[in-house]
């Protein structure tokens, strides 16, 4: 590790990755934002899914001040963050064949909707089957993943494919295999993961694009305001009433 504090070096690494995705994924961000805007304009609903720590970026865009009210979390029990004990159970569930199909069969998602699937490696059965199952049901799929995993690891799904192979739009987070940005002679393993920072930024960039695209089409984007500013609750009540049939985190 070169000169600089570990904190400085981590910030440098994260900023470098953010610059890369800004420059190299601009077209994909525009396409993803347009896809979500098309879905909203056509009366569809929006969903986000991620397993383990990938769920953090999905949760970040649900019921969020400044965010789209229509973004719903597609939750899979046991894999939402690290909400189970032992935490390793969540990792094991990601490799279970058939789990995604059971979730999609019971979720409110339907043809004409859009689903953002976040998976750093994209190699486990759950994200692969979530993507294939959603598309088979007429749902548009945006994948947020590190394409490097497909080149440097093998798929854990029987098809031998990765999440990136089953998406309408793919956003590459540029995260290196292993998700650790720093090394130090006195520490035997690489450390300091940046995937959450980058993936959350990608998600917000896409939704900002969606809101602006809707506005360009003359459609007021259904945005939420903070409940901690005057008038925020009244604003949100109006939005949730108008779009109540497309919002599922209230029920």
For residue 35 the two structure tokens come to: 């896809």
Q: Where are the domains of the chain?
A: 6-246
Please report which confidence band the pLDDT of residue 251 belongs to, taking 50, 70 and 90 as the band edges: low
pLDDT at 82: 80
Beta strand 182-184 with 169-172 is: unpaired
Buried b (16+ CB within 10 A) or exposed e, 59-81: bbbbbbeebbbbbbbbbbeebbb
pLDDT at 8: 97
pLDDT above 70 covers a percentage of the chain that reads 99
pLDDT at 58: 96
Strands (E), 74-210: 114-118, 140-145, 169-172, 182-184, 187-191
pLDDT above 90 covers a percentage of the chain that reads 87
Neighbours of 245 (CB within 10 A): 8
Helices 6-24 + 26-41 axis angle, to 10: 70
- pTM value is 0.95
Please report which confidence band the pLDDT of residue 83 belongs to, taking 50, 70 and 90 as the band edges: confident
- Residue pair 168/140 in contact by the 8 Å Cβ criterion: yes
pLDDT at 2: 58
User: Over 90: is that where the pLDDT of 189 sits?
Assistant: yes
For the segment 9-15, the average pLDDT, to the nearest whole number, is 97
pLDDT tens across 45-70, in order? 999 999 989 999 999 999 999 999 99
Please report which confidence band the pLDDT of residue 91 belongs to, taking 50, 70 and 90 as the band edges: confident
pLDDT at 96: 85
How far is residue 148's CA from residue 174's CA, in Å, rounded to a whole number?
7
**DSSP H or E run through 51:** none
- Residue pair 137/111 in contact by the 8 Å Cβ criterion: yes
First-to-last alpha carbon distance for the chain, in angstroms, is 50
CATH code, residues 6-246: 3.40.50.10490
């Amino acid at each position: 590790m070169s000169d600089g504090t570990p904190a400085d070096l981590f910030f440098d690494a994260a900023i470098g990755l953010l610059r890369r995705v800004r420059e190299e994924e601009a077209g994909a961000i525009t396409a993803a934002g347009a896809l979500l805007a098309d879905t909203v304009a056509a009366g569809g609903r929006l969903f986000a899914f991620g397993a383990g720590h990938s769920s953090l970026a999905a949760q970040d865009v649900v019921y969020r001040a400044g965010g789209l009210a229509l973004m719903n979390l597609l939750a899979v029990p046991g894999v939402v963050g690290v909400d189970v004990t032992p935490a390793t159970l969540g990792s094991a569930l990601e490799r279970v064949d058939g789990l995604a199909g059971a979730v999609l069969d019971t979720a409110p998602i339907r043809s004409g909707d859009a689903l953002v699937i976040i998976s750093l490696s994209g190699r486990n059965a759950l994200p692969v089957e979530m993507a294939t199952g959603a598309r088979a049901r007429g749902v548009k799929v945006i994948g947020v993943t590190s394409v490097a995993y497909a080149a440097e690891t093998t798929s854990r799904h029987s098809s031998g494919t990765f999440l990136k192979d089953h998406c309408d739009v793919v956003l590459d987070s540029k995260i290196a295999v292993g998700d650790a940005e720093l090394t130090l002679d006195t520490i035997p393993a690489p450390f300091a993961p940046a995937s959450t920072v980058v993936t959350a930024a990608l998600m917000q960039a896409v939704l900002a694009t969606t809101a602006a695209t809707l506005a360009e089409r003359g459609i007021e984007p259904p945005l939420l305001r903070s409940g901690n500013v005057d008038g925020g609750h009244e604003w949100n009540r109006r939005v949730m009433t108008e779009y109540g049939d497309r919002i599922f985190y209230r029920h």
